[in-house]
Amino acid sequence: MPHFVIQEHRKRNTCHYDLMLEKNGALLTWSINDVSPLRKSGGISPSKEFPPHRIVYLTYQGKISRGRGSVKIYDKGRYDLIRESEPLLVKLEGKILKGCYCLVCGVKGYWWIMKT
């Protein structure tokens, strides 16, 4: 099973999270404002898709250059891609997030992530 990571990004008084799924030597990436709704069934959170990140970000923690804040790992584990066509369906097996999640594409790179 491939890996996933959720990074917590902090800059001054702001915080967001990046969900990254390992696929074909890269990390498919979505930025999420709040992951707390995704901890319970029926929870939903808006997100934005970004270009894939390099695989080295799977374990990265620390300061971001040019004063862009810091990154720490919020959760990590393995995942199973249940449905590859949109809407994506993944089963996360992390320490915090566990279960099936549906990723639905909206408009202009915006997505909805739902815990099923």
- Residue-wise pLDDT for 29-42, tens only, equals 999 999 999 999 99
Q: Which residues contact 65 (CB under 8 A, 6 or more apart)?
A: none
pLDDT above 70 coverage of the chain, percent: 99
According to the model, what pLDDT value does residue 13 have?
A: 83
* Cα gap 39→52, rounded to integer Å: 24
* pTM: predicted TM-score of the whole model, two decimal places: 0.91
Closest CA to 99 of 89, 111, 87: 89
Q: Which residues contact 103 (CB under 8 A, 6 or more apart)?
A: 30, 47, 86, 87, 88, 89, 90, 111, 112, 113
Task: Work out the average pLDDT over 102-106.
Answer: 94
And the tokens for 82?
A: 């249940």
